[in-house]
Amino acid sequence: MTNLPKSDWMSLKSAFDFVSKETQQPQGEVKETIRSALRDEELLSRGRCLSYKSIADLFDLEYFLWDHPEIDWSISSFQFPRNDSDQRKNNYHQVTEVQIRRTGNHGVENWLGSSSNEISDLAYIPPFLNFMLKTVSALHIDGSERIPLDDIKHWIEENWNDELGKPSGNIISQMATLIRRPEDRKGGNHQQRVSVKNI
């Protein structure tokens, strides 16, 4: 591993505080956002451990270690079973002083899309707008192709945030429409992503 400057790493607690501020998500969603990124085999966000107290030669934290950790976010540590088939109370690896990258291609700022995002500087992001941005991120929408309207509506329906109140077909349709490109409302031949409903 390249020895990056200290500022390029942040503790799990700092990462939690950072993601909370950037996304305005509930605590449970923030924790899952971080864990999802660290579990992503392709994203390579990983993480590192500065302590060798309980497991020999552990430094880089591979993606599969985040599948079922019991994380103590307040002290940046977690534990996981020494053996998947043996999860007795005292048969855990304790990993302390856990850090993850802040910057770079695989850092927190990058996978949040906030390293060069002016939205992150706003003091307030309206809840509906925040949910729409979350939808864009979840569906990996980058503006390069037409996204089937039904796919967006389906994701919104399945992942609706109860804090937004009771969903209606009208508001879901409006949100999905606003998430798409303006030209996608028109007809014509355009490159279109295959609908998940047709796979």
pLDDT attached to residue 193: 53
**Phi and psi, residue 188, nearest 5°:** 110, 170
CA 118 from centroid of its chain's CA atoms: 19
Pick the last residue of a domain from 87, 111, 135: 111
**CA proximity to 134, closest of 21, 23, 16:** 23
In a domain, 121, yes or no: no
pLDDT, position 160? 94
**pLDDT tens across 88-105, in order?**
556 777 778 888 877 766
Assess if residue 99 is contained within a domain.
yes
**Among 56, 85, 111, residue at a domain's last position:** 111
CB 86 within 8 A of CB 134: no
In the 3-class helix/strand/coil scheme, how is the chain assigned residue by residue?
CCCCCHHHEEEHHHHHHHHHHHHCCCHHHHHHHHHHHHHCCCCCCCCEECCCCCCCCCCECCHHHHCCCEEEHHHCEEEEECECCECCCCCEEEECCEEEECCCCCCHHHHCCCCCCHHHHCCCCCHHHHHHHHHHHHCCCCCCCECCHHHHHHHHHHCCCHHHCCCCHHHHHHHHHHHCCHHHHCCCCCCECCCHHHC
pLDDT of residue 164: 93
Residues of the chain with pLDDT under 50: 1-6, 53-56, 114-118, 188-189, 196, 199
pLDDT of residue 170: 94
- Domain holding 143, by residue range, is 126-191
Instruction: Tell me how many domains the chain contains.
Output: 2
Q: Could you give the CA distance from residue 38 to residue 32 in angstroms, rounded to a whole number? A: 10
In this prediction the pTM is: 0.47
**Residue 93 confidence (pLDDT):** 76
- Asked whether residue 117 is domain-assigned, the answer is no
Do residues 95 and 152 share a domain? Answer: no
Last residue of a domain, one of 111, 146, 178: 111
Query: Cα–Cα distance between 156 and 191 in angstroms, integer?
Result: 23
pLDDT at 199: 43
Q: Measured in whole angstroms, how far is the alpha carbon of residue 104 from the centre of its chain?
A: 16
